[in-house]
Amino acid sequence: MKSAECKTIFIFDSVHYVLKAEKVLKKENIPCELIPVPREISSDCGMALAIDESAGGVAREKLAEHHLEFYIFRKAGKGYFKAPV
């Protein structure tokens, strides 16, 4: 995978949910990368999933089917902006 700067970043409320989401997406053959939460999004230690823009819609659907709540961030200049789910 390319760097997280070219991806949609999916943030979850806990590491447990990040790992569950990763498992769901991999089972569905949706490429994702487990990454540290970018500092521009949160100073807390945590993990997130980076997903290609092209797979973002399918990833949202599959995660919603499994009742996983998440926030989406996209790169904008030197920072990130929160995108609608």
pTM of the prediction? 0.86
Can you give the pLDDT at residue 3? 46
Fold of domain 4-83: Alpha-Beta Plaits (3.30.70)
How many angstroms separate the most distant Cα atoms in the chain? 33
* Interval 12-49: pLDDT, tens: 999 999 999 999 999 999 999 999 999 888 877 799 99
3-state secondary structure 12-48: CCCHHHHHHHHHHHHHCCCCCEEEECCCCCCCCCCEE
The pLDDT of residue 55 is above 80: yes
Domain residue extents for the chain: 4-83
* Interval 57-81: pLDDT, tens: 999 999 999 999 999 999 877 888 8
Can you give the pLDDT at residue 6? 63
